[in-house]
Structure 1
Amino acid sequence: MSVIGEERVRGGVFREISAEDEETQPTEIQSLCMNCYEDGNTRLLLTKIPFFREIIISSFTCPHCHWTNTEIQSAGRIQEQGVSYNLKIKCKEDMNREVVKTDSATTRIPELDFEIPAFTQKGSLSTIEGLLDRAVAGLEQEQPIRRATDPEVANKIDQFIQRLKKLKVMEEEFTLIIDDPSGNSFIENPCAPQKDQALSVSYYKRTPEQNASLGINDAEPEPEDKPANDLDTMRNEVLVFNTNCPECNAPASTNMKLVQIPHFKEVIIMATNCDSCGHRTNEVKSGGATEELGTKITLHLTDSSDMSRDLLKSETCSVLIPEIEFELGMGALGGKFTTLEGLLKDIKELVVMKNPFICGDSSTTETAEKLEQFGKKIDQIIAGEMDVHIILDDPAGNSYLQNVYAPDPDPEMKIEKYTRTFEQNEDLGLNDMKTEDYGEVQS
């Protein structure tokens, strides 16, 4: 507490980087240089990427041997799911994309059969070009020793280094894959708020081996003699359990209740309120199983009164607005039970107000103007000044948009059921799920 300062704690330990905010200045501490074993200086900056999450940036400099080292660590908790980024790099502009890579992430370039395993590098905040420079520097580090002890291996590595350098100057297209089971890595989308055609993001459930590598113990199974939950009691009660605030990590409580949505199904609503920093969050999860068919809901907005329609967006639902070429992918914003106006305001806050690439050194005039225009279009949609369609595409079939004409059909809303593709089942983890023959007793 004495190092960070009482005022800084009151304003939040992790603050957005701002030239006008004196509290965002780094903290300097004296530490040992692992190169010459003299005293050096480490500078720590606790900040947050608004479009992402909190990070700790550290930079070490030794005044004696001039050795330097920088690294980044995620200050947030390990996410519920792992994340995999697949980026097709086609031009030099792609080399400037910013990348957050944690130490638990695996980096691959399939065209070179090249892989940087997890936990072999410290986390970094860099660009695609910076990742390649770091890989080249790592391979060149032991080359003098290899040339003396094993010239053949050294020659092969020299050839491989030349191939990496050719990728850096874009002599050929290549694919970059970052797979992080902790879910804390990130690749910039310069096309925001539009979908990035060159970048695909997928989320997955960690294996027991990945949980073990991250130091996570799998949940213990419930005792067999534990009585079953009484659903009638759960419907009438609000359950409270202890947790930690996702913003400041202080102890907080989460309220959970089972709610029946008319003309739909039961859902679980969870709300967290932090007394320390005032942060509030809510999340909705389906109370039932994954539906046999996916659901696509298309609403034609004809009046500003449509903004008051109740809406349930599950964590597997994508949101599309074709008229402004906008797509919000599966997993973004999480599950929400709100109104249509509330969803649009959350989209504007996520894409425009909390986007780190419109401020500081990462900003460009073109990107800032593009996002500003997008924010104005969202305001026009909320005010009923634009004729657009809102599409909720949920392959799990667990999303809902209120029909104000119920039980009669809504003339402005179209609900389509469709069969999921193999890739959608893969994203939902259904291809590897066994649901048959569990009741058979072996003789």
Structure 2
Amino acid sequence: METNKDSIVDVRSVVEAISSDDNDAPLYQVESLCMHCRQNGTTRFLLTLIPHFRKILLSAFECPHCGERNNEVQFAGELQPRGCHYQLNFPPGDQKMLNRQVVKSDTATIKIPELDFEIPPEAQRGSLSTVEGILLRAADEIEALQEERKKVDPQSAESIDRFLPKLRACAKGESPFTIILDDPAGNSFIENPFAPSPDPSSTIKFYERTPEQQASLGYVVDPSLGGEHRDEALSEELNSTGDQTRREPHGLIGAAAGQRAIAQGNSAEFAESLFRYSAPEEVMTFPSTCGTCAAKCETRMFVTNIPYFREVIVMASSCDACGYRNSELKPGGRIPEKGKKITVLVKNINDLSRDVIKSDTASVEVPELDLVLTSGTLGGVVTTVEGLITKISENLERVHGFTFGDSLDDSKKSKWLDFRARLNKLLSVEDPWTLIIDDALANSFVAPATDDVKDDHQLSFEEYERSWEQNEELGLNDIDTSSADAAYESTDATRKEGTTV
């Protein structure tokens, strides 16, 4: 490729456009080499923002000599905190389903289980297309090398000849199939035409990345600090008696402050009303490693009890080297035998200030808006009723990326505008509305507005038996505690015999 002064200026302009916050970035073009005919073609760059989704860089190449054309999408923003997993079921004969817009990042994998077919991240670069377009492109790329493949490996070429009609049948909607889009970077997206209502044909899940996925995205991580290994390391740290784990005063709150209040003549009832939650006497601090830059940092942990809820473990880490911060709230004790549904009737502004703990396994529903968020949509959050609604609004606009794009017709756009106005109207509490948090593991909580939860008539709790499907999704059906139960019973019997003697 022959480089000239103008092309250097264009490349510099593209870099400046990517780093700027101007949404009206112009179109830039660069002369580049065509990989098909080895002549010079033109690549055009456009930095654009998909409303309520991501800032992306679109590039399109065209060669006037051989007619070669291709396009690519790259993400100019940051990696998301969690990975995303989309699964859609396509019935036969529904062409509209195949017209769903798809944003596929460089790190995304696409699978069709029925065909035992997978498009790995390196096979297709980032693209902005539809479900039909992605499948047809995959079929064309596989078919392009068939002639050479027949000369080298006739048996594989024959198998591919039998496979391609099946793939094209799926792309045309002639056969039912399931498509799975998994992206550890969290930057991929499949359009939901029913938004903001749930899509009956699809499921969306967000998950924590494994150390291997973190490393593939360019993070410097220690695999021993991920998942179960991290919990084991934490347990070893807490059980150790060395100097690495130290204890420090929590501050002038919690149990210590309550004892002082009682010592000064205040009643226990006054102390309990003054300190809503019992904070710990001390915080345990132990060394750890930053999951982003691998520098040494500290993790602080304490156990506290939330009245009318349960004991919880609060963990917080901060890195002075890169500024990364992370906090987690984990339930203490055993897994509850029943799930819990929490219903809050929001009547006034004060109800918006209620404290809310929403776990990863909880779903959220607002019947007045026909709004349902499945478990895992928002992750685990500690906030207020107002903060939860604000997070829901922000999350819906992020997940349903093409909310106000050029491809959306006026009727759908007006529907979204009306829904967003109604969602924001909840925060003004012009009319009473209901918030329902359903948690199969009963790890969610909404604070009462009165000293005694029984006196709060706007807040209700309902326990229920989990279904087999819920236990299966949570992995509870595979838990076998019979050996542990037998060991505990044997230990108790031995202790009783020793006491009797």
- Structure 2 CA distance for partners of 1:407 and 1:164, relative to 1, 3 Å: same
* TM superposition shift of 1:52: 4.1
CA gap 1:316/1:53 in 2 versus in 1, 3 angstroms: farther
1:138 pairs with one of 135, 141, 157 = 141
Aligned residue for 1:85, secondary structure, equals strand
Alignment of 1:273-292 (within 5 A): 285-286=329-330, 288=332, 291-292=335-336
Equivalent residue, structure 2, for 1:341:
386
Residue 192 of structure 1, CA deviation: 1.2
Q: Distance in 2 between matches of 1:48 and 1:433?
A: 46
Retained in 1: the 8 A contact 2:312–2:330?
Answer: yes
Amino acid at match of 2:385: L
Query: Counterpart in 2 of 1:184?
Result: 187
Distance 1:428 1:129, change over 3 A: same
1:216-236: CA deviations, max 9, x gaps?
A: 641457586664645654667
Query: Which stretch of the first structure deviates more once superposed, 76-85 or 115-124?
Result: 76-85
- With structure 2 as the length reference, what TM-score do the two structures score? 0.68
SS at match of 1:357: coil
**Superposition pairs for residues 277-356 of structure 1, below 5 Å?**
285-286=329-330, 288=332, 291-292=335-336, 293-352=338-397, 355-356=400-401
Alignment of 1:341-420 (within 5 A): 341-352=386-397, 355-409=400-454, 410-420=456-466
CA distance in 1, matches of 2:15, 2:155: 56
Cα distance between partner residues in 1 of 2:299 and 2:212: 32
Q: Distance in 2 between matches of 1:212 and 1:349?
A: 29
Deviations 1:310-343 (A, max 9, x none): 2222333221112322112223333333321232
* Aligned partner letter, 1:416: E
- Give the Cα–Cα distance (whole angstroms) in 2 for the partners of residues 87 and 306 of structure 1: 38
Q: Aligned with 2:223: secondary structure? A: coil
The CA deviation at 1:189 is 1.5
1:84 corresponds in structure 2 to 85
- One-letter identity of the residue aligned with 2:460: K
- What are the within-5 Å matches in structure 2 for residues 430-441 of structure 1? none
1:162 matched to 2:165: yes
Match of 2:109 in 1: 106
Distance 1:50 1:237, change over 3 A: farther
8 Å contact from structure 1 (residues 356, 362) kept in 2 = no
* Per-residue deviation, 1:257: 8.3
Q: State which structure, 1 or 2, has the greater radius of gyration over its C-alpha atoms.
A: 2
The amino acid of 2:392's aligned partner reads: I
Cα gap change, 1:423 to 1:75, in 2 (>3 Å): farther
Distance in 2 of aligned mates of 1:396 and 1:5: 48
Structure 2 residue aligned with 1:218: 223
| Amino acid paired to 2:142 | L
* Alpha-carbon distance in structure 1 between the residues aligned to 2:153 and 2:144: 15
3-state SS of the aligned residue for 2:180?
Answer: strand
> 1:64-120, CA deviations, whole angstroms, 9 ceiling, x for partnerless residues?
444333233445565565433220123221111111223433322233333324432
- Cα displacement string for residues 253-293 of structure 1 (whole angstroms, at most 9, x for unaligned residues): 99988676544344648799xxxxxxxx9976336467424
Distance of aligned partners of 1:345 and 1:374 in 2 relative to their CA distance in 1, 3 Å threshold = same
Greater Cα shift, 219-228 or 397-406: 219-228
The answer to whether the Cα contact below 8 Å between 1:86 and 1:200 also exists between their aligned partners in 2 is yes
How many angstroms apart in 2 are the aligned matches of 1:42 and 1:238? 56
1:352 Cα shift? 4.9
The residue aligned with 1:277 is none
Aligned AA for 1:412? Q
Deviates more, 1:193-202 or 1:291-300: 291-300
Residues 237 and 315 of structure 1, relative CA distance in 2, 3 Å threshold: same
| Aligned-partner SS, 1:333 | coil
Higher helix share: 2
State the TM-score, normalizing by the size of structure 1: 0.75
Please tell me whether the aligned partners of residues 369 and 423 of structure 2 are also in contact (alpha carbons under 8 angstroms): no
**Cα 1:271/1:299, change in 2 over 3 Å:** farther
Gaps of 5+ in 2: 1-10, 251-279, 319-324, 488-501
Q: Which amino acid aligns with 1:177?
A: I
Percent identity, aligned pairs only? Answer: 38
**Equivalent residue letter for 1:115:** E
